[in-house]
Each structure stands twice: as structure tokens, then as C-alpha cells.
């Protein structure tokens, strides 16, 4: 199966009194924060190798304590060359 790179922009609305906690939790999940307003609006980008991973992350965001809504507002997918390095560690299998 050809490798893919999925890039997404996600807007999260959090309770204003939980913005800092929610933001730190999401950054800890590997997303990059671009905006955080005191009113509770946060903007992140996320990279993944599959649409399933992206969907799973979006579900996790929606279930975080203090999150009112998490919405994907942009998605781009492109193929990755087979010889391109992967961010995932090599997985060796033994017989």
C-alpha cells in the first residue's frame, strides 16, 4: 500500500477557563498550535500517515475534558515516495 501524508487544520473550542490545560494536552498529543485565544478558540495542525489516524485523533480531541468542539477545517493528502524516510521507528519482525 502506498504511503500517504495527511495534513489537517483543526479548530478546537474550549471552555475559556480550561484553554491553557486543553492547549498543553493537545500539544502533548503531537499537534502544533498556531493560535490560542482567551475566549477558548484554538487552532492546530496535525500530520498523520492515514485518514484513520487523523479521524482517531479528532475523536480523542472531542472527548478531552474542557473541549466543547473540535472540527477539522482543512485536509490535504499526498503520496509519499517509497524511499522517503518515515517518522515511525523501524519495526523488525522475527520468524
85 lies in some domain: no
DSSP 8-75: EEEEEEE-GGGHHHHHHHHHHTTPEEEEE-TTSEEEEEEEESSHHHHHHHHHHHHTSTTEEEEEEEEE
Q: Which of 56, 73, 63 is nearest to 14 (CA)?
A: 63
Query: Per the structure block, which three cell numbers stand in for 67?
Result: 473541549
88 lies in some domain: no
Q: Could you state, in chain order, the average pLDDT of each consecutive group of 10 residues for the chain (95 residues)?
A: 91 98 98 97 97 96 98 95 63 42
Dist CA 42 CA 14 (whole Å): 8
63 lies in some domain: yes
25 lies in some domain: yes
47 lies in some domain: yes
52 lies in some domain: yes
pLDDT at residue 87, as a whole number: 60
Q: What is the CATH number of the domain that holds 55?
A: 3.30.70.920
How many folded domains does the chain comprise? 1
pLDDT at residue 83, as a whole number: 72
50 lies in some domain: yes
41 lies in some domain: yes
Amino acid at each position: 500500500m502506498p504511503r500517504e501524508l495527511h495534513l489537517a487544520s483543526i479548530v478546537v473550542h474550549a471552555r475559556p477557563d480550561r484553554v491553557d490545560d486543553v492547549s498543553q494536552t493537545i500539544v502533548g498529543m503531537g499537534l502544533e498550535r498556531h493560535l490560542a485565544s482567551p475566549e477558548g478558540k484554538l487552532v492546530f495542525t496535525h500530520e498523520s500517515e492515514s485518514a484513520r489516524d487523523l479521524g482517531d485523533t479528532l475523536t480523542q480531541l472531542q472527548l478531552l475534558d474542557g473541549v466543547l468542539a473540535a472540527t477539522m477545517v482543512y485536509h490535504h493528502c499526498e503520496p509519499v515516495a517509497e524511499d522517503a524516510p518515515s517518522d515511525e521507528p523501524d519495526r523488525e519482525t522475527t520468524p
